[in-house]
Chain A
Amino acid sequence: AQSVTQPDIHITVSEGASLELRCNYSYGATPYLFWYVQSPGQGLQLLLKYFSGDTLVQGIKGFEAEFKRSQSSFNLRKPSVHWSDAAEYFCAVEGQKLVFGQGTRLTINP
C-alpha cells in the first residue's frame, strides 16, 4: 500500500532564510510524487510534481524538490522564504489513487 510521511508537523523559519520540508514515501513501483500548498481557508494548489527524468524538479513560487530513490524521499526546498510562503504544505504519492501526508505547517518570522 502507498503511504507518505511528513516528519515535521510545524516548522518556523525567518524571512529570507532557506527552507527544507521533508517527505518520505512508500510505494512498490516508481511513484508519481507531488507537493501541494494550502493557504488558510483555501483549497490546495499544486506546487510541483515528479515521475521520471531529472531528479531535481522546479515548481511555482520558486520551490524545488529533489527525488532520492535510495532514501524514498522527495524533500521540498526554497532558497529564501517570503512572508507569503506561510501555509500548510502537503506531500502526496499517486499510485492508482492520490494519498497525502499529514502536512507541515510553515510559519515565517519577520
Chain B
Amino acid sequence: NAGVTQTPKFQVLKTGQSMTLQCAQDMNHEYMSWYRQDPGMGLRLIHYSVGAGITDQGEVPNGYNVSRSTTEDFPLRLLSAAPSQTSVYFCASSKDRGYGYTFGSGTRLTVV
C-alpha cells in the first residue's frame, strides 16, 4: 500500500548511543517532516524538507540531524541519545502546501 513507512516501530537505546530512524514514502511527495509527540505537548516539529537537497529546522531541532538525498527518503539521526529524547516519532509527507500530510505509524523510542 502506498504511504509513509517508518522503521523501526520500537527501539530502546542507551544514553550516548546514536541511531537513525528511517522514513520512506512512495507517493512522490516533495514535502516531508519529522515530529515528536510527548504527552500534553502535541506534535512538535523537529526538521522538515520541501524537496530533495533542502532541509530546515523546526521547533525542537537540537540533538537531531536530517538529510534529504532523494525524494523518497528522509532519515532522522540521533547523534548522542539522551533520556529527554524518549518519545514517539512521526514522519509525514505532503504533495505540496495545503494538501495535507500523510503520517507514518510512528516509532516509539526509549532512551535509558
Question: A43's contact among B50, B59, B106, by CB below 8 Å, is which?
Answer: B106
Given contacts A49-B100, A103-B42, 11 further A-B contacts (CB under 8 A): A32-B97, A43-B90, A44-B101, A44-B103, A49-B98, A90-B43, A97-B45, A97-B48, A97-B58, A98-B45, A100-B42
A6 to B42: give the CA distance in the assembly, Å.
10
| Complex interface bits, A32-58 against B, C-beta within 8 A gives 1, otherwise 0 | 101010000011111001010000000
Closest chain A residue to B43, Cβ basis: A100
Closest chain B residue to A33, Cβ basis: B98
Interface size on A, as a range, is 20 to 34
Distance (Å) between the CB of A106 and the closest chain B CB? 15
Contact check, B45 vs A51: say whether CB atoms are below 8 A apart. no
Contact check, B48 vs A43: say whether CB atoms are below 8 A apart. no
**For residue B102, which residues in chain A have a CB less than 8 angstroms away from its CB?**
46
A92 to B44: give the CA distance in the assembly, Å.
11
Contact check, B33 vs A97: say whether CB atoms are below 8 A apart. yes
Distance (Å) between the CB of B50 and the closest chain A CB? 8
A103 to B58: give the CA distance in the assembly, Å.
19
